[in-house]
Amino acid sequence: MADVVATRTDSAEEDAPPLARLRGAAVAATPAIGLYLLIRMISLEVMYVLAAHAHVLTPDRDVYPDGSIGNQWRKFTSFMDALVSWDARWYTKIATHGLGGPVGAVDEDGVPYELRLAFFPLYPMLARPLAQLPFVTPVNALLFISFVSAIAAAWGLYAIGRHVHGHRVGILLAAVWALAPAAMTQNGAFTESLFTALAAWALYAVLKERWVIAGLLAGISGLSRPTAAALIGTVGLAALIAAISRRGGWRPYAAMVLAPSGMLAYLAFASSRLGGVEEYFNIHEQTFGAWWDYGENHWNMITDILIGVDDENAAKPIRVLSFLFMAAFVVMFLLLLKRAPWPLVVFAGVTLILSIGGHAHMSMAGRHLLPAFPILLVPAIALARFKTRDTAVVLTFLTLLSGWYAGWLPFISGQAI
Per-residue pLDDT tens over the stretch 209-253: 999 999 999 999 999 999 999 999 999 999 999 999 999 999 999
Rounded average pLDDT over 185-201 = 96
Q: What are phi and psi of 106, to 5 degrees?
A: -120, 155
Bridge partners of 292?
358
Report the distance separating Cα 93 and Cα 70, nearest Å. Answer: 13
Q: What are phi and psi of 386, to 5 degrees?
A: -75, 160
Q: What is the DSSP string of 317-347?
A: HHHHHHHHHHHHHHHHHHHHTTTS-HHHHHH
Q: 251-280: b or e for each residue (b if 16 or more CB lie within 10 Å)?
A: bbbbbbebbbbbbeebbeebbebbeeeeeb
- Nearest to residue 227, comparing CAs of 83, 360, 124? 360
Structure confidence at residue 142 as a pLDDT band (50, 70, 90): very high
Is a pLDDT exceeding 50 seen at residue 3? no
Q: What is the pLDDT of residue 11?
A: 55
% of the chain with per-residue pLDDT over 70: 86
pLDDT tens digits, one per residue of 370-380? 999 999 999 99
The highest-confidence range among 38-42, 54-58, 73-77, by mean pLDDT, is 38-42
Which residues lie closer than 8 Å to 256 by C-beta, 6 or more apart? 215, 236, 239, 240, 243
Report the distance separating Cα 260 and Cα 216, nearest Å. Answer: 9
Neighbouring CB atoms inside 10 A of 69's CB total: 15
DSSP, collapsed to helix, strand or coil, labels residue 416 as: coil
Is a pLDDT exceeding 70 seen at residue 62? no
Q: What is the pLDDT of residue 101?
A: 73
- State the distance between the two ends of the chain, measured CA to CA, in whole angstroms: 44
The highest-confidence range among 61-75, 99-113, 134-148, by mean pLDDT, is 134-148
- In degrees, to the nearest 5, what angle opens at C-alpha 230 toward C-alphas 229 and 232? 60
Is a pLDDT exceeding 70 seen at residue 319? no
Decide: 355 and 227 in contact? Cβ < 8 Å: yes
Report the distance separating Cα 195 and Cα 220, nearest Å. Answer: 9
- In degrees, to the nearest 5, what angle opens at C-alpha 226 toward C-alphas 179 and 73? 70
Decide: 121 and 97 in contact? Cβ < 8 Å: no
Averaged confidence pLDDT in the chain? 86
Q: What is the pLDDT of residue 318?
A: 63
Rounded average pLDDT over 99-104 = 76
- Report field, pTM of the whole predicted structure over 0.85: yes
Which residues lie closer than 8 Å to 123 by C-beta, 6 or more apart? 91, 142, 145, 191, 194, 224
Rounded average pLDDT over 40-57 = 86
Q: What is the pLDDT of residue 2?
A: 42
Structure confidence at residue 327 as a pLDDT band (50, 70, 90): confident
% of the chain with per-residue pLDDT over 90: 52
Q: Is 416 left (phi over 0), alpha (psi -120 to 50) or beta?
A: beta
Q: What is the pLDDT of residue 70?
A: 57
pLDDT tens digits, one per residue of 258-297? 999 999 999 999 999 988 898 888 888 887 777 788 778 7
Report the distance separating Cα 366 and Cα 300, nearest Å. Answer: 18
Rounded average pLDDT over 379-408 = 92
Crossing angle (nearest 10°) for helices 229-244 and 342-357: 150
Helix (H) or strand (E) holding 65: strand 64-65
DSSP, collapsed to helix, strand or coil, labels residue 251 as: helix
Decide: 318 and 360 in contact? Cβ < 8 Å: no
User: DSSP character for 106?
Assistant: B
Which residues lie closer than 8 Å to 60 by C-beta, 6 or more apart? 75
Would strands 73-74 and 64-65 be described as parallel, antiparallel, or unpaired? antiparallel
Structure confidence at residue 5 as a pLDDT band (50, 70, 90): very low
- Nearest to residue 183, comparing CAs of 316, 369, 326? 369
Structure confidence at residue 316 as a pLDDT band (50, 70, 90): low
Q: What is the DSSP string of 382-394?
A: HHHTS-HHHHHHH
Rounded average pLDDT over 296-322 = 68
**Centroid of chain to Cα 211:** 23
